[in-house]
Amino acid sequence: MGKVWFVGAGPGDPELITVKGRDLIARAGAILYAGSLVSEVATRFAPAGCEIADSKEMTLEQISAWLIGKAQAHDTVVRLQTGDPTLYGTLIELVQPLDIAGIEVGVVPGVSSAMASAAAAVESLTLPEVTQTVIFTRLQGRTPMPPGESLEELARHRCTLCLFLSITLLHKVKEALLAAGWRDDSPVLVVHKASWPGEEKIVRGTLADIRDKCRAEKIASQAMIIVSPALGARRWPELKKSKLYDVAFTHRFRKGMKTATR
């Protein structure tokens, strides 16, 4: 039996895959990539003769059967997933059949579209004394949300919200955030296909107008929505600075110095 590796392909740019993920692809005997979300370019590191298949038309059972079959024929099998395998993927659902079959598994983390979106827009998800918390969540669609995890309930924390799989529900995002106490002019960032070469779109707006702006750009899939009190801080005239680099702050690598007073 070979080993099946669940590798995070990252947000889209094939250069954002980890070195470990790239090296596993380079020695894989078989690769199954999620073609609806992962660019085929990500398989370019595969060796000659590697079996490569796209899972976008497969059911969960077919994916499991494919991975088990290839693990019986190859030492290294790669399941290439978008972003990070542990976020909004089918990691556990796919690992359980492999466990039953006695096949060893490994997971290689990847860059999430949340981080790639913030990077594309040159935004920080946290700022001192503004927000120190980031919530990764989604709006309820065909998959129900657990009790206590509605967007309105989470939004009451007034921290950074990274909303996956919700771009077609922007009207409900607005309703939930307004109900939680956010203002109509609260800034919103939407990034479509973050880091995808030649396909990335960055849209800035507010709760009041972001839906219309996304419609104008024809964005209806593969988009990250970020709502945060830290958005736009690059253009703020004043910031609360990090204590770590303050001249008066002492830590184990540097002794703080008293500043002169008049």
- pLDDT value for 260: 52
Mean pLDDT of 134-146: 90
- pLDDT value for 262: 47
Instruction: For 196-226, write each residue's pLDDT tens digit.
Output: 989 999 999 999 999 999 999 999 999 999 9
CA distance 236 to 81: 37
Mean pLDDT of 103-114: 97
pTM for the model:
0.89
- pLDDT value for 245: 66
Domain ranges of the chain: 3-108, 113-235
For domain 113-235, give the fold.
3.30.950
In which band, very low, low, confident or very high, does the pLDDT at 256 lie, cut at 50, 70 and 90?
confident
Write a three-state SS string for the chain: CCEEEEEECECCCHHHCCHHHHHHHHCCCEEEECCCCCCHHHHHHCCCCCEEEECCCCCHHHHHHHHHHHHCCCCEEEEEECECCCCCCCHHHHHHHHHHCCCEEEEECCCCHHHHHHHHCCCCCCECCCECCEEEEECCCCCCCCCCCCHHHHHCCCCEEEEECCHHHHHHHHHHHHHCCCCCCCEEEEEECCCCCCCCEEEEEECCCHHHHHHHCCCCCCEEEEECCCCCHHHCCCCCCCHHHCCCCCECCECCCCCCCC
- pLDDT value for 153: 97
Q: Tell me: domain 3-108, CATH 3.90.1170.40, correct?
A: no
Instruction: For 13-57, write each residue's pLDDT tens digit.
Output: 989 999 999 999 999 999 999 887 887 778 889 999 999 999 999
Q: Are 3-108 and 113-235 the same fold in CATH?
A: no
CA distance 48 to 35: 20
